[in-house]
Amino acid sequence: MTSILTNTSAMVALQTLRSTNSNLSRTQDMISSGKTVANAADNAAVWAISKVMSADVKAFQQISNSLNLGQSTVAVAAQAAETVTELMTEIKGRIVAAQEENVDRDKIQNDINALRDQIDAVVGAAQFNGLNLVNNTSTTAGAQNVNILASLDRTMQQVAAADITVMRQDLGNGALTAGTVSVNVGSGAAVADGDTGAVFTIQGNATTGQPEAGMTYQIASGALGGGLTSAVAYVARGGDSLQDVTNHLVARLNHQAELDNLDVQFNANATTAGQVDMTNNSGGALTMLAANVQQAATNSSENDGTVGGSLELLAKIDVTTNAGTDAALESIESLLQTAISAAADLGSARGRLENQANFISKLTDAMKSGIGTLVDADMEEASARLQALQVQQQLGTQALSIANQGPQQLLSLFQ
């Protein structure tokens, strides 16, 4: 039945043309924007995922900037530590040369003083953006650690920043100032000639068991059988372990023993943290030390020492005398090891930061690629679809025109 009131063919053709125009408009939007999912209306779930990932990409770009700044800071410190190590090696050469008695020790001492001053200059200049990682004399808790923003950890909807912690080193040679003594040395058992025995054991905070920044460890003058003409002290810096403090005390004890012509050798015990052993080759028994350690947990006044430089003994090196030359040779190895350890630690941190920066760069690229896979349009497909839809639009227009001409045929029936 043909009706002049209802043109079903035109209605079908019109619906088809509307659908074609809608698809054509969407395809043109895809081509102009380059995205299949440009807004939440296109695909709410995919759009939400892409926005979260895009926000993370922005965050990782800032993290990359943080890592670049951290890398530069650590690189400056590492270069300074390596330079100090080279200067320490030169100082060792001068000290070895001073072992000869027919050399001008005064001139050698002048060379050593100049090299020491150069170490001061290097350490003082080794800062980047105001941060110096080779100068750690702060007594503020935790000040030895520098946190560098390194990553963003996401678990479902929970996000947390992750840091790489770089520990400050200290290659200065500034003098310490002893505060309230945390270790008092009294009389103890005798160590026979040719024997090795424990002479004292240090302790840290009563709660943590570790030294606190500013705690003074001091062995009084005359403590070794009337020997040790000067007190030996070390003020703990932030981050020092018992083993670190022990090593520093041992180096200072051996230096003073050489100055006092005492044929003894101090060593840090390999198994008991904080224990100092002594080998006695003096030709007779020596009454050694027993340590009475005050607990610092309830007495903050024990943290009132001024931290000195890790290379403090450099200022005490004097090769103008036989005893001073022997003491310098005894001390230079521990000082050189301190510089080498600092350079190695900073080099390790530098390598880790470089690896993390490379990872973040690759991760950011991978996330961008993932976002593109979700929302980017396939331009080849869009181009082919556009041409097909344009043809469909033309055909739809013609079909609608033909359908609209149908009622005209009824006029022939009434002629």
**Is residue 382 a part of any domain in this protein?**
no
Looking at 307, 329, 347, the residue that finishes a domain is 307
- pTM: predicted TM-score of the whole model, two decimal places: 0.79
Residue 74 maps to which CATH number? 1.20.1330.10
* 201 and 161 housed in the same domain: no
**Is residue 266 a part of any domain in this protein?**
yes
- Output the CA torsion sign for 301, 302, 308, 313: positive
* 164 and 187 housed in the same domain: no
Looking at 280, 307, 334, the residue that finishes a domain is 307
Dist. CA 149–CA 357, nearest whole Å: 11
Residue 191 maps to which CATH number? 3.90.1160
pLDDT at 187: 59
**Is residue 293 a part of any domain in this protein?**
yes
**Is residue 58 a part of any domain in this protein?**
yes
Query: Which of 342, 338, 320, 319 is closest to 329 using CA atoms?
Result: 319
Distances (CA, A) of 84 to 81, 145, 166, 175, 346: 5, 21, 19, 18, 13
* 162 and 42 housed in the same domain: yes
* 169 and 44 housed in the same domain: yes
**Is residue 213 a part of any domain in this protein?**
yes
pLDDT at 293: 53
* 245 and 346 housed in the same domain: no
* 246 and 227 housed in the same domain: yes
SS3 of residue 133 by DSSP: coil
pLDDT at 337: 92
**Is residue 166 a part of any domain in this protein?**
yes
Dist. CA 273–CA 264, nearest whole Å: 21
Looking at 307, 334, 360, the residue that finishes a domain is 307
pLDDT at 298: 46
* 169 and 185 housed in the same domain: no
pLDDT per residue, tens digit, the chain (415 aa), is 666 667 777 788 788 878 877 777 777 777 777 777 777 877 888 888 888 888 888 988 999 999 999 999 999 999 999 999 999 999 999 999 999 888 899 999 999 999 999 999 999 999 998 899 998 887 777 778 899 989 888 776 778 888 999 999 999 888 888 888 776 666 566 788 889 888 888 888 777 788 888 888 888 888 887 778 888 889 988 888 889 999 999 999 999 999 988 899 999 998 888 888 889 998 888 877 666 555 444 455 678 888 888 899 999 999 999 889 999 998 999 899 999 999 999 999 999 999 999 999 999 999 988 888 888 777 777 778 778 877 877 887 887 777 777 777 777 777 6
* 39 and 169 housed in the same domain: yes
Its domain, for residue 135, covers 35-173+315-376
Number of domains in the chain: 2
Dist. CA 239–CA 142, nearest whole Å: 7
